[in-house]
Every structure is written in C-alpha cells, then in structure tokens.
Amino acid sequence: MTEIVKRDEKRLIPIYQETAGAICAALEKNLALAALFINCARIQTIEKTFGKKLYQDILAKVHAIIIELKGNVVRQDDVIVTADSGGEEFLVFLSKKRESETFYPTDLETLSSRLADHLNEKIFPLVVPYLKGRPRISVGYAIVLHNPLMRDERLLSRLVDDAKKMCSYQEFKRLMRDKEKLQELILKESIRTLFHPIIDIAQGNSIIGYEALTRGPKGTEYESPYVLFDAAAETELIFELDSLCRRKALHNARGIKSEHKLFLNCMPSAILDPEFRETSVEFCLKELGIKPQNLVIEVTEREAIENYDLFREAVRFYSEVGFSIAVDDTGSGYSSLETVVELKPHYIKLDISIVRGIDKNILKQELLKALNGLANKMGSIVIAEGIETEEELGALKQMGITLGQGFLFGKPGEVFPLNKLNK
C-alpha cells in the first residue's frame, strides 16, 4: 500500500476520515485489510492538569514516535492515521496483500504486543513526571475481508470497531496480569524501604528526620514508585499496598534515634480507618519501641479527602497521642492548599515544582514567601523538597526556609545515614 494522502505540512499525521476513501480502495484491491488500533488516550489528562501548551508539546513528541514506527516496528508502506481530531488514538492499516500472504491472527497478536511494548517504553519517559504513572498504551487488531455485497465504507467501519474492541480486551488482560502480580508482591511483602534524610539547612545540615520511601523489586517495572502505586490504584489494591508500606517502613526504622522524626506517607482513607487508629500506637510502642513523638504522618494526594470534619477528628486523635502531621506536595494544586488550611499541619512540604529553579524564578520566590508566611501564622514548619543545586539551597535559606530535602544532600538509602552530612 503506497502513501495514500497528501499531508498538510502543519500536521504530522493525517486524520482517518481524510484517508477513508483511499483505504477502501486498498481493501477492494487487496481483498482483505488488517488494522491496528493504538490507544494513547490517557495522556490527555496532562492537558487538564498542566495546560494546553505543555500538552501540545508532549503530543507532538508522541506523534513523532508514532511516525518513527514506519520502517522499524511496522512496514514503510503501512498507513498511519489518527483515529480522530484529538490526536491521542491512532490506526495503522497494514499493507500486506492477501494474494501473496494471508493475515494470521497470531501474527497480528504478536505484532500488536510488540508495538504496545515499544510505545510504552518510548513514551513513558515523556509523560511520567505529569501522569505519575505509566502511559498505559494498548494496541488492538482486527481483519476484514472484502465483501462485494457490502459497501467498503461499512466494512472499513467494522474493521475499526473490531480493532477498538480488541484494544479494550487487551487492556483488560493487562489489568488482570497487573492484579495477579501485585497480589503476589503484597503477599510476599516484596517491597523495599528507602530512607531519604530531611535536613536542617539553617543549622549545619544536620539530619532531623527521614522520609520512608517505597520501591518495588529491583529489575522490575514496579521498582518505580510511580508505576507501583499507579498499578495498585488501577487494580484496587492501593489500600493493601499502602498498609504494607507503612508496616515495612516501621519495621526497618526500629533503629531510629530518639531525636529523629520518621515521615510516613499515608492515604487519607488509612488515617480514617479505625483498625489502623487502634493498632498504630500499640504497634509502635510495644513491638518496635518507636515513640509516637518520632512519627510524622504525611498526608499524600493519592486520593482526595472527602470529609474534612471526619479527617480533622482523626488527625486530632493522632496529634493528642504524640504524632505530628505533614501535608505533602503543597503548591502543586488547589487540593493541597485546601488540606493545609483545613488541617493546620505541623509540617508543610513544598512541591518539587516550586523548588526547582527557584533561584532564577521571581514568581516562584513570591509564591514561596506567601506559603512561608501562611505557615508562620499557623505555627507550621516548611520543608523544601527536591533541592538539587547549591543555588536553590542558597535562595531557600535567604527566604527563611530552615528544613530541606533533596539529592543535593544524598540519595535515598536502605540504611540510616550518619547523623551529620558533609556539606
């Protein structure tokens, strides 16, 4: 099948509707036609959160990756189009002729699987900072035979619909495989706890505490926390994984010094869980010898807080026992700011997006001043996350930030570092 559309130079990939007539002609000529349906629709959520410009930049890079399939994963004369004007779904019409080689479903299944793996690997680095998880690209396939009794347009529509249905089926199979893998991982407790130091940047870079971070088994896709927690949420195993992470973190932190704080990431639903509330103190005190005063419950944004009245009551219980409360990713969106105002936490952890390049960005500096002013009024302490350069550190110190965290001070490790850093 030769290239069958004259491209608009402003558009990387033509739209399916523009090519339908020529593709129908190819169906009639070759007596059969196979198609692959590529679903990249998840990336459209980036536009809702980060805006049109960033999304368009990422989408252009995705289109370039799709175009590069020609001559690599698919044949040079296969036709690639977008399924609609949105540009997140694609169709590949295969050029193999029926009179020379028949389309076999097993061949198409192998090709679709190879194509999905290739695209997920290529697109993952582009979108992971924004999706906080995998792009979840799936590929379906279908074949249609030419039928002289039916209009080619109807046959082509059937081909596309069948490929979409197979794509949904492939996504369902992937979801079930993920669920089986995660269930095994949770049952075997195959996760690792890393500890990232939190530093007093105003007083000689001494360590005041550690954030407990979770990683999946080394050498697997779940080694990435983004992939791990994204998959758990998708398979409805997030609560079970979250509970395991806390239990493992507490076990691994039994040697923590009395003057250090341990920051534990917690889903809002876990904090509201009566069983967790009843057992957490006893578990820390009797089994591990960790005092409640050493622990900081860090509220994550993996799920929304639906009832602030109930949540404040739960937080009050932990505070009275001796636990501290921290709100993570402050400044990343309205929800985190609302949580800060509602809870008045002991610690406010700045989102990395504010800290990154703050020495060069006046607007970020003004935002930080406002957040630090709010923290001072509430009696909260600001922790700047993601410090990577001396310039960022200097700017944060100048603006009165006393606590920080980031690769500038060292990467997370599986054992507790020394009490004082050489900085």
Report the C-alpha gap between 31 and 380 in whole angstroms: 72
Which residue type is seen at 302?
Answer: R
pLDDT band at 278 (very low <50, low <70, confident <90, very high): low
- Residue 40: its pLDDT value, please? 92
CATH superfamily of 189-409: EAL domain (3.20.20.450)
Separation CA 134–CA 174 (nearest Å) = 12
pLDDT digits (tens, 9 = 90+) for 334-392: 556 777 888 888 999 988 888 999 999 999 999 899 999 999 999 999 999 999 999 99
Q: Is the pLDDT of residue 419 over 60?
A: no
Residue 96 has a pLDDT of 62
Answer for the pair 174, 42: CB distance below 8 angstroms, yes or no.
no
16-176 architecture in CATH? 2-Layer Sandwich (3.30)
Mean pLDDT (the chain, rounded): 84
- CATH code 3.20.20.450 region(s) in the chain: 189-409
More confident residue, 219 or 310: 219
Contact indicator for 221, 136 with CB cutoff of 8 Å:
no
What's the CA gap between 172 and 256, in Å, rounded?
43
* pLDDT the model gives residue 310: 79
Parts of the chain belonging to CATH 3.30.70.270:
16-176
Q: DSSP characters for 329-394?
A: EETSSHHHHHHHHHH--SEEEEPHHHHTTGGG-HHHHHHHHHHHHHHHHHT-EEEE----SHHHHH
> Rounded to two decimals, what is the model's pTM?
0.78
Q: What is the pLDDT of residues 144-163, one digit of tens each?
A: 888 888 888 888 889 999 99
Above 60 in pLDDT, residue 420? no
Place of tokens 């009395």: 258
Asked if residue 385 lies in contact with residue 370, where contact means CB atoms within 8 angstroms, the answer is no
